[in-house]
Amino acid sequence: MSTGTRIAALAAGSLLALSLSACGGATKSSTDKAASTAPAAGQSGATDPNAATKKGLTVGFLPKQVNNAYFTISDAGGDTALSALGESYKEVGTTSATDTAGQVSYVNTLMQQHVSAIAVSAQDPGALCTALKQAMSAGIKVVTYDSDTDPGCRQVFVSQASSEDLGRSEVDLLGKELNYTGQIAILSAAQTATNQNAWIGYMQDELKKPQFANMKLVKIAYGNDDAQMSFQQTQGLLQQYPDLKGIISPTTVGIKAAAQYLDGSQYKGKVLLTGLGTPNDMRSYVQDGTVKAFELWDPGKLGQLAAYTAVALASGQISGAQGQSFTAGSLGSFTVGAQGVVTLGAPTVFDSTNISQFNF
Amino acid sequence: MADTTDTTAVLGGHRVHRPTLIGGLRWDTVVGALLVILLAISFSTVGGFGNALNISFLIGNTLPVAAIALPMTMLVAAGEIDLSVGSTVGLSGAVMGALWNHGMNINAIIVVCAVLGVVCGLVNALLVTKLGLPSLAVTIGTMALYRGVAQIVLGSNSVTDFPQNYLDFGSGRLAGSFLPTAVLPWLVLAVAAAVVLHATGFGRSVFAVGASAEAAWFAGVRVRRVKLSLFVATGLVSSLTGVFWVLHYASATYSNATGLELSVVAAVLLGGVDFDGGRGTLGGAIAGVFLLGTLQNVMSLADVSAQSQTIVTGVLLTVSVLGPRVARQMSPSIR
């Protein structure tokens, strides 16, 4: 007994000593932030906007989650674009949207398989960095799409729409529907979701404007992009705030679950819902009046643009520096903005007048 | 270490099988052999597997499970289980991130995280030993509890700006070899755990408690104290793993290591540690950990889809619950 305890204590002690002796102490303030905020420079250095598109490239798509309807559509768009260019497409990914260790593993997998470029939607802004930097130093081009990493860990971020546009427009949509009065709540995805948090930041900022003085954000709930949990969170919101007038859910999984709950409850038509959803998911709820309007970009086009961007990088037409332009097939021409961001365009608002024109 | 005889002691009318590190046809040997075979096949046929970078990646990614599997093996051998380990890893990381944001010294933070792990383990231990509650139920509760506290501590923040030399320890390699730097402390811990479980009186009492707590108590083993020290050790190792996790992935979030407990328990069971307690070897558990880790790495490289991987892992685990029993029936030394 005593021997065992002693050995265990010794082991724990030496473990601590080892980890502490790794280097001298440091605090946040004494650490110089070596983390570069500038986009990583391309290894090739020189770029030629008129360079020929290379053939035989493989782009590996790594979505936040496989088997997720949204990413199925976006990655199919990537496949379409790569087929049109005569390049190869592959998709790998985790079955859970919060398995960051698994997502890091897949970056390693794609690296070992020597793909030309990786297009990844990051589950976490920091966790992928070490692996992505290794991939970039091995000459693999890295594009993030839908959800970004820290800017130093990729060459280009393909953004669905500017965060500011999305955040503010969702609040404006709901404001119009509610005559700018009443309690509202937000049903988000995971607490760490980079893009959702950025949009929510702009929503909160928009709500500070004088016309929203009577609209109060009472709670931000998190459904982790899980249908059941989002459903329960909606239920909880309405129990907690019986006077709730509106919900914004900036996630396709969340808005569908919330609509499903409202549709089967006494709150149908009394509590308004808006946010980001797909027309196919939301069609019946718009037709029966549970939801008046919602918005989204075309995820298929987002995947296409990610693929074209990856090919332009791998062909040396762009490196991710601000001001460079490239052509993305039928989508037209795009220019790289600050911090290596390429933006798809303004979101589309879907309502009863136009929803029948869309099928995704 | 090279003890090849099975010793069977009669204790309070119960047969206590004391396993050794190497035996006849035993399940842990089978798992070890499977690992060697898998490695041999992977090195020769799977593209991208055998290079130093991939191997270091495989080991680094498996280390959290490998570390927690050490105390978990002892805990399961003593007839208990701890499902709160993944949440303890997350809580430790969340506290680390929050304190770093508050400007605390990194070494002091690591000490705080270690103490926190001891506290987490102690809470589990006291609920189990003082109140006599089943550890499965207790640790399902504390699993949710610790994860909830982690959410409160760090909210939706993700802290990434830890000192570079510490991050290098978390994700670096020994002089460009295939071994991650962090493998060194793990080796120290693994050897210590093997000695404690298989070569000390404490280790023998762990198996005795797992075989029959009552009989062990009549034979003079301080059952509660054994269980308490095992829960505390598990908490401590989990919280230190939390520190490693943050440095390895350069990311402290409340959701770190979600679901890790199942990977640990799965690997321990696959390694032939009996869920009913009283049987198991550390070598088997470690082989189980690296068998699962290697299998995942290889399946990804071979383009097996994530969904199929889940099925393969599930089948393997189902077999592993059956395997040790079959192996025991075929082995003549145990009746």
Residue of chain A minimizing CA distance to B245: A101
B167-196 residue pLDDT tens: 999 988 998 789 999 999 999 999 999 999
Report the residue of B56, B89, B110, B156 to disrupt the A interface, i.e. the one with the largest count of A CBs within 10 Å.
B156
Whole-Å CA distances, A257 to A49, A290, A359, B5 = 45, 12, 20, 60
Report the range of poorest mean pLDDT among A192-206, B6-20, B78-92. Answer: B6-20
**Å between B326 CA and nearest CA of chain A:** 32
Q: Of the spans A12-26, B6-20, B204-218, which averages the highest pLDDT?
A: B204-218
A99:B161 CB<8 A: no
- A93: nearest CA partner in chain B: B306
Query: Does residue B51 sit at the A interface (CB-CB below 8 Å)?
Result: yes
pLDDT band at B21 (very low <50, low <70, confident <90, very high): very low
Whether the predicted pLDDT of A175 surpasses 60: yes
- Burial zone of A69 (CB within 10 Å; 0-12 exposed, 13-18 middle, 19+ buried): middle
pLDDT for residue B323? 74
Q: Do A27 and B105 touch (CB under 8 A)?
A: yes
- Residue B234: pLDDT over 60: yes
The chain-wide mean pLDDT, for chain A, equals 89
Query: Which pLDDT value is given to residue A38?
Result: 43
Q: Is the per-residue pLDDT at A280 higher than 60?
A: yes
Predicted local confidence at residue B2, as pLDDT: 38
Residue B16 has pLDDT above 50, yes or no: no
Asked whether the predicted pLDDT for residue B334 surpasses 90, the reply is no
pLDDT of residue B176: 77
A233 contacts on B by Cβ (under 8 Å): none
Is residue B225 over pLDDT 90? Answer: yes
pLDDT tens-digit series, residues B314-327: 898 888 878 777 77
> What does the pLDDT read at residue A76?
96
| B330 CA: distance to closest CA in chain A (Å) | 33
Residue B24 pLDDT > 70: no
- What percentage of chain B carries pLDDT values higher than 70? 91
Is B100 in the A-facing interface, judged by CB distances under 8 Å?
Answer: yes
- Cα Rg of chain B, angstroms: 20
Average pLDDT over residues B15-32: 64
Q: Which of residues 10-39 of B touch A (CB under 8 A)?
A: none
Q: For position A161, what pLDDT does the model report?
A: 85
pLDDT(A112) > 90: yes
A-contacting residues in B 117-136 (Cβ below 8 Å): none
For the cut 50, the answer to whether the pLDDT of residue A100 exceeds it is yes
- How close A126 gets to chain B, by Cα (Å)? 5
What does the pLDDT read at residue B290?
A: 97
Shortest alpha-carbon distance between residue B223 and chain A (Å)? 11
Residue of A nearest to B222 (CA): A1
Quote the pLDDT of residue A24: 55
Tell me, what amino acid is at B296?
A: Q
Question: What is the model's pLDDT at position A25?
Answer: 65
Separation CA B109–CA A27 (nearest Å): 10
Contact between A51 and A315 (Cβ < 8 Å): yes
Does residue B331 belong to the interface with chain A, where contact is any CB pair within 8 Å? no
What band does A12 get if pLDDT is binned at 50, 70 and 90?
low
Residue A311 has pLDDT above 90, yes or no: yes
Contact: A99, B205; criterion CB under 8 Å: no
Phi, psi of A54 (to 5 degrees): -65, 150
Is the per-residue pLDDT at A35 higher than 50?
A: no
- Chain B nearest-CA distance from A323, in A, is 29
- CB-CB neighbors (< 8 A) of A250 in chain B: none
- pLDDT tens digits for range A224-238: 989 999 999 999 999
Helix (H) or strand (E) holding B154: helix B135-154
Does pLDDT of A41 surpass 50?
no
pLDDT at A69: 83
What is d(CA A53, CA A48) in angstroms, rounded to the nearest whole number? 11
Would the pLDDT of B19 be above 60?
no
φ, ψ dihedrals at A23, nearest 5°: -175, 170
Query: Could you give the CA distance from residue B174 to residue B244 in angstroms, rounded to a whole number?
Result: 16
User: Would you say residue A57 has pLDDT above 50?
Assistant: yes
Give how far Cα A253 sits from Cα of A69, A226, A230, A281, Å.
9, 7, 8, 9
The answer to whether B301 contacts chain A (CB < 8 Å) is: yes
Taking the Cβ of residue B8 and every Cβ of chain A, the question of whether any pair is shorter than 8 Å is answered with no
pTM of the model: 0.82
pLDDT at B1 over 80: no
By percentage, how much of chain A surpasses pLDDT 70? Answer: 89
> What was the pLDDT predicted at A10?
55
pLDDT bin (cut points 50, 70, 90) of residue B132 is very high
Report the pLDDT averaged over residues A190-200: 87
Encode pLDDT of B93-102 as tens digits: 999 999 999 9
**Interchain CB distance below 8 Å, A113 and B103:** no
Confidence of residue B5 (pLDDT cuts 50, 70, 90): very low
Angle, vertex CA B108, rays to CA B119 and CA A34, nearest 5: 125
A vs B, Cβ pairs < 8 A, gives: 182
Higher pLDDT, A349 or A11: A349
- Indicate if the pLDDT at residue B130 is higher than 70: yes
Q: Is the Cβ–Cβ distance between A98 and A190 less than 8 Å?
A: yes
Asked whether A240 and A261 are in contact (CB, 8 A), the reply is no
